[in-house]
Structure 1
Amino acid sequence: MPTDKTQIAQVVASLEAELNRLKHEITTMGVADQVPAATETITVADYILERLKQLNVTDYVEAHPTIQWASNCNELNASYAADGYARVKEGSIGVLLTTFGVGELSAANGIAGSFSEHVPVLHLVGVPSTIQQKTKPMLHHTLGDGRFDAYHKAFQEFVISHGSLTDKVTAAAEIDRVLTECVVKARPAYLMLPTDLVHVQIPKTRLLTPLNTEPPANNADIEGFVLDEIMNLIEKADRDVVILVDACTIRHGVRKEVNELVHKTKFPVYAAPMGKTAVSETYERYGGIYVGTISSPEVKEKVENANLILAIGGVKSDFNTGNFTYHIDTHRVIELHSDNTVVQFASFPGIGMKHLLPKLTARLETLKGDAQQIEVPRFTHPVPQEDNETISHSWLWPRVGQFFKPGDVVVAETGTSSFGVLDVPFPDGAIFISQILWGSIGYSVGSTLGAAIAARDIGLNRTILFVGDGSIQLTVQELSVMMHVGVKPIIFLLNNSGYTIERYLHGKHAKYNDITNWKWTSLLTAFGGTEGETCQSYTVKTKSELSKLLDDETFARADKIQLVEMLMPMHDAPRALRVQAELSGLTNKYTA
């Protein structure tokens, strides 16, 4: 039996977490018992749509007055779009609808990426009837061997919740369970809808009670113990504390709580790459991006020399940590996560940051006088003066940073763009999207579609995409859907003759990293646009040409979809990418 107070608290926390999870599930599944019996009915399909409406979903399903059908070109792109939608429309979810087998497997890569990066997406799959699933005829889209559950089993590996509707009695409860876990745990869910249940009538009763999407409550005694431990460590650290925010700050809905913490306490705050824009980058106590040895020297020095790090929503992946080069000892770290808290070497399951953060802020607010004495380097990235007209990465990213406006949604493709834009300060209210952990090439184009729709829904500013000539070739069809649904992103296409990040990781001069050079400025018209009316394309070859375009008010207004082809050197790359590639090469033994 544990004897140490911390060990006892850990054991109790683990048991309490499981109890809270079960209580939470019972609350969700038992709502029908809390209201009078209802005589009104609704089809299973419409029940799902009404639940989505309650979750503020307004896109991707057709048969509903407030939900728009986006009609993606393929299922993979649809999964990327649903992911981008969910990232921008925080508190809601993305939804995609596919057919059995061939459709759902096409979407699997995107769903796995959403799981990896904590994005709530519902994958709704139309499947054969309940009778056919029992009798197992050799239907199209099946494997031909009677395994009608094979795809369901496959998806269980990368969704947080899954279900198969089997009858009208349990359908509503099963839908609610799957949706609740998707939202609360901020990860994808999978739901099979058989053809013979789509139009079956079920009671409306459960719809009268909204889904319980709040995370489970923390055990008050354990939470108090954890808060005491944190405060003791802060005092032992002479109040020399740095806050480090990361992806799950955004994904698990604690952006508001974190902003109250940093503004009321005045402790310096930095972000990991996946946490970029979790805190306003115009805030005077924000110091920039920390990514291990890849960090700028002043950021690296400030973060790694702090006596204590309060890490919020951390995701310690290779590209998010500078290939695991965080030089911070465990005894100097407190980690807050959605479903647990780690204080040095002790873990407390079930003590989630959503409920913990307001209480921690209240305790720390009295320390703001000391916190304000800690110097924070100003987060800037001036445009360098280069004596040539070549559009280099060192010049490009700070220059386009001057083009950004408050409320812009900036999407960066895996690789060159995502590394280049990291050190560029974003205006207040801007949102950054990039798939840094999963890293599926081509993700950004589909994601831009969903992000632009969500941005339009909630009144954000422009949607701006940075994508390479290699990456866009994987998912380019979605340009047609963007024009079809009326969103108007600005697309900056980096034409550097191939896969730059792959050249740096492996095969700098290999033919497999070369691509066919498309006629890029013909893409929008080829996909249905009318040049000068519904779309506009440009090619820029020099710094002067690009700067002139960026300063053009008509271009900046983004009143039509626009594509800018930028001609850049083949082997040029952002500094951070070059360093990361070198570290990855050493890890993978690609270097001598």
Structure 2
Amino acid sequence: MTTLGVGELSAINALAGSSAELVPVIHIVGYPSTVTQKKRLPIHHTLGDGDFERFAKMSAQISSAVVILKDKSNAARLIDETILECYNSSKPVYIGFPMDLVRAEVDSSPLTRPLAAERAPNPTAEEESAVDSILDRILAAQNPAILVDSLAGKPHILKSARSLVEGSGLPCFITPMGKGIVDETLPNFRGIYAELVSQPTVLEEIQTCDLILHIGPRSTDLNTAKFRTSLPHAETIEFNRDSITLRSEVQGLNSSGVLFKLSDALHREGTRSVSPAWTTPRKLSDTPEFSESVSSVSTPPMSLNGDLLECKSQIPSKSAALTQDWVWERFGPWLQEGDIIAADLGTSSFGTLWTRYPRGAVPLTQLLWCSIGYAVGAAVGAALAAREEEQEEKNSQRRTILFTGDGSLQMTVQEISTMVRRRLGVIIFVVCNEGYTMERLVNGPEAEYNDIQPWDHTFLPKVFKAAPGSARTYAVHTQAELDMLLTDPSFGPNVVDDTPLRLVELHMSKHDAPASLHGMMDAVVYRP
């Protein structure tokens, strides 16, 4: 909710990010009265020319619907239609609300009927035909697999995608933007596929597949290692929201219905449908026919263990400095079921993406819009939602964990003031590496424009006047110090009624970056 002009423009970066990342947001903009608009008065927060709809035209570029209410006779209907459009498009919508209509009385009877958000089912015959065709392809394949992509996480398809992954037993991979959609503790979960940036074992297994069910594809550069995820050796069936592509033929079907029925069909097939080869990871060395096709593929050196980051040792060196790969390995076993993990773009996002998540963990990161500082505000919203969920369901409070860089934090640091004010027990880890390490990998490793003025973040709670005992701060420089902190019983768990905010500085070299980030930058950055 913003005001006209200056308010909505200050929010337009976040709304554009929501549009890019397909996040439904209802943007309500407070407008001057309808009388003021009709008289075209040159009032504040405008350009002084009497045109009050200039900013709505800007928002139209990033919104799936723009409505400016002008009369109470149709206001309720327009609001309902706009809310439905927000749900169906999974994008922001814009509602301009004149101040004199806020208290206008309208017919309340529509409130007794839920909005018709459910989508029409597929025609039965067409749906069953598609399921039969896809099932035949799966049962005929030697090495089928599922690749879960970004759009599989949207409400229209999420439950059905999870049903297929959990019920089929097929090897399952995710793209970087598919993080958090499937349970990474499942026995058939293999890891993250991003072509050359994949762990070699993941790349090898994908190369052995002869059938890939690609759910919710979204080919962006950081999701595909610069569009290098073409799989010409395998037949691919794509499941989009409103269509399925099978053997180059696009069928206009709701994917959710097909995926649910496909999951049921595979379940009925039982052990007869499960090839022994499906249940164990495959290597190209075991598959001669693919050895030639992969021989030209060079993978970047990765310090990843298995398919995702895992902690190799619980005994850190007492004097060893923190390094990116060691830190993200160490965080893996510290994460808990249900954690909400907000990570800003850069070393934080790529470090956490390649860390195995426990059941129910939720990532909040931007790999398309890529607006640094996003994770700080996202952590505030997530922590408030988690508190509301705890109050409604009387469950123990989920932890909200924020990983951000010292450069990213300077974009939105004021939101820590909101955390203090609302007594949100967010656990904040600030990677202190003297500025923009990701940008150093792109260009200018020693350039001054990638440096920042360093802050002492441990003083932030005092700057924002946190109440005594409501915040704790730490500065960590060595592996032993971080290990001691993460194993301290008083640090990690949340206490429902009185959880302190915790802010931890993690001091690392400005040139150090996770192996996954090195690999991605090598893939996507143009180097003449």
Output the TM-score relative to the length of structure 1.
0.79
2:515 alignment partner, one of 575, 578, 582: 575
Code of the residue aligned with 1:511 in structure 2: it is E
1:263 alignment partner, one of 154, 166, 173: 166
Code of the residue aligned with 2:222 in structure 1: it is F
Q: CA deviation at 1:223?
A: 2.6
Q: CA deviation at 1:214?
A: 1.8
Q: Deviations over 1:454-507 (max 9, x none)?
A: 122223520001100000000000001112122111000000000011111121
Cα 1:396–1:183 change in 2 (3 A) is same
Q: CA deviation at 1:323?
A: 1.6
SS in 2 for 1:557: coil
Code of the residue aligned with 2:500 in structure 1: it is K
Matched, 1:285 2:185: no
Deviates more, 1:260-269 or 1:339-348: 339-348
Structural mapping, 1:292-441, within 5 Å:
292-329=195-232, 332-349=235-252, 351-369=253-271, 370-371=273-274, 373=276, 374-377=278-281, 379=307, 381-384=309-312, 389-441=320-372
Q: Is the 8 A contact 1:215 1:354 kept in 2?
A: no
Code of the residue aligned with 1:260 in structure 2: it is S
Identity rate of aligned residues, in percent? 37
Q: CA deviation at 1:367?
A: 4.4
Code of the residue aligned with 2:413 in structure 1: it is V
Q: CA deviation at 1:233?
A: 2.9
Q: Is the 8 A contact 2:310 2:332 kept in 1?
A: no
Q: CA deviation at 1:519?
A: 1.3
Gaps of 5+ in 2: 282-305, 391-396
Q: Deviations over 1:417-459 (max 9, x none)?
A: 1111122111111111111111001100001000111122223
The alignment's C-alpha RMSD in Å is: 1.8
Q: Which residue of 2 aligns with 1:135?
A: 39
SS in 2 for 1:466: strand
Q: Which residue of 2 aligns with 1:58?
A: none
Q: CA deviation at 1:129?
A: 1.7
Code of the residue aligned with 1:365 in structure 2: it is H
Q: Which residue of 1 aligns with 2:95?
A: 191
Distance of 1:466 and 1:372 partners within structure 2: 41
Q: Which residue of 1 aligns with 2:299?
A: none
Q: Is the 8 A contact 2:213 2:238 kept in 1?
A: yes
Structural mapping, 1:136-155, within 5 Å:
136-155=40-59
Matched, 1:445 2:376: yes
Structural mapping, 1:169-184, within 5 Å:
169-184=73-88
Matched, 1:473 2:406: no
Distance of 1:346 and 1:131 partners within structure 2: 55
Q: Which residue of 2 aligns with 1:33?
A: none
Q: CA deviation at 1:235?
A: 4.0
Code of the residue aligned with 1:321 in structure 2: it is T
Output the TM-score relative to the length of structure 2.
0.89
SS in 2 for 1:554: coil
Q: Is the 8 A contact 1:309 1:333 kept in 2?
A: yes
Q: Deviations over 1:273-312 (max 9, x none)?
A: 1111211111111111111110001111112321111111
Q: Is the 8 A contact 1:536 1:561 kept in 2?
A: yes
Structural mapping, 1:31-110, within 5 Å:
97-110=1-14
Q: Which residue of 2 aligns with 1:208?
A: 112
Code of the residue aligned with 2:60 in structure 1: it is Q
Q: CA deviation at 1:384?
A: 4.1
Matched, 1:484 2:386: no
Higher relative contact order (CA 8 A, sep 6+): 1
Q: Which residue of 2 aligns with 1:564?
A: 504
Code of the residue aligned with 1:205 in structure 2: it is S
Q: Deviations over 1:299-342 (max 9, x none)?
A: 11112321111111222111111121114129621111222222
How many residues align structurally?
489
Distance of 1:497 and 1:234 partners within structure 2: 51
Q: Is the 8 A contact 1:264 1:361 kept in 2?
A: yes
1:495 alignment partner, one of 432, 453, 470: 432
Q: Is the 8 A contact 2:311 2:330 kept in 1?
A: yes
Q: Is the 8 A contact 1:286 1:379 kept in 2?
A: no
Q: Is the 8 A contact 2:225 2:524 kept in 1?
A: no
Q: Is the 8 A contact 1:98 1:123 kept in 2?
A: yes
Q: Is the 8 A contact 1:311 1:335 kept in 2?
A: yes
Distance of 2:51 and 2:120 partners within structure 1: 37
Distance of 2:488 and 2:381 partners within structure 1: 27
Q: Is the 8 A contact 2:5 2:45 kept in 1?
A: yes
Distance of 2:274 and 2:444 partners within structure 1: 48
Q: Deviations over 1:51-84 (max 9, x none)?
A: xxxxxxxxxxxxxxxxxxxxxxxxxxxxxxxxxx
SS in 1 for 2:525: helix
Matched, 1:545 2:500: no
Gaps of 5+ in 1: 1-96
Code of the residue aligned with 1:362 in structure 2: it is D
Q: Which residue of 2 aligns with 1:555?
A: 491
1:157 alignment partner, one of 61, 75, 82: 61
Q: Deviations over 1:341-397 (max 9, x none)?
A: 222422234x22222221121222244534362144475533346766111011000
Cα 1:371–1:145 change in 2 (3 A) is farther
Q: Is the 8 A contact 1:286 1:376 kept in 2?
A: no
Cα 1:416–1:215 change in 2 (3 A) is farther
Code of the residue aligned with 2:193 in structure 1: it is Y
Q: Deviations over 1:400-426 (max 9, x none)?
A: 111111111111111111111122111
SS in 1 for 2:461: helix
SS in 1 for 2:402: strand
